[in-house]
Amino acid sequence: MSLPVGAFTAAAPGIQRRLRKISKYPREPRVFSQAKIWFAFGWPGLIVMAITVIALATADEASRPDDATLGIICCSGLMVFCSWFLWMGYKRRFGVDNQKVWSSFAPVFYREIYFSEITRVTFAGVSFGVFACNKRPLALGINRFDYTLACLRILEEMRVRCFTVGKIEPHDPRWPESWQEMRNRLAVEAYRNHQNYYDSHPAELQELNALAVGRFVTPNPVPQPPTQKGY
């Protein structure tokens, strides 16, 4: 009997979305981590490999397997691999605030793109891509994390600026249609993440609908949350 690999693969994005932690407020700054996943693989693997190495290294000559040395080398390599998982858990972070989106893996790299710097936006089904001049692009994994604030801020930039959508530049005759399609995707993602909130806050739902078509509703921005919480 063969396993339904295709079914598992198709279901993965939906499972990821259900496991996300959604903020109470759409415009709340966020800090994201997948530490629990990395630790779930890293710590058990590291412990098992360490015990195996110790057992092989301390076994007496009579009971030591002939390939003990090879086993010690292989297990030590796997320990390094598990340590990498732990490092990812402790140091890999993603985030969004009212000014920018960012990604870090201390001390290897830190990348950020300010919304005011965006020159191109793409959509790949499971993520939005944001680009800026002379900076590496960042992918906003919408199935892994709640990037509602980023969607709203990009929509606000689209209300006052023009930039490339996918591979279609503003001078392309196809651009207006692609521009509106991107607006729709961003607005739908924000509403989908916080449907209960928007349904109970008509003024902010009206603002979201206005953003989806590039209109202004209120002269003042929606108030920001008082504090930043990490998730």
The pTM score is 0.76
Strand partners, 92: 105
190-200 per-position pLDDT tens digit? 999 999 999 99
Q: Mean pLDDT over all residues of the chain?
A: 84
CA distance to 35, 47, 62, 151, 196, per residue, from 191 (Å): 27, 43, 67, 10, 9
Encode pLDDT of 74-122 as tens digits: 888 888 888 888 887 888 899 999 999 999 998 888 999 999 999 999 9
pLDDT higher than 80, residue 6: no
Give CA–CA dist 94/155, Å, rounded. 20
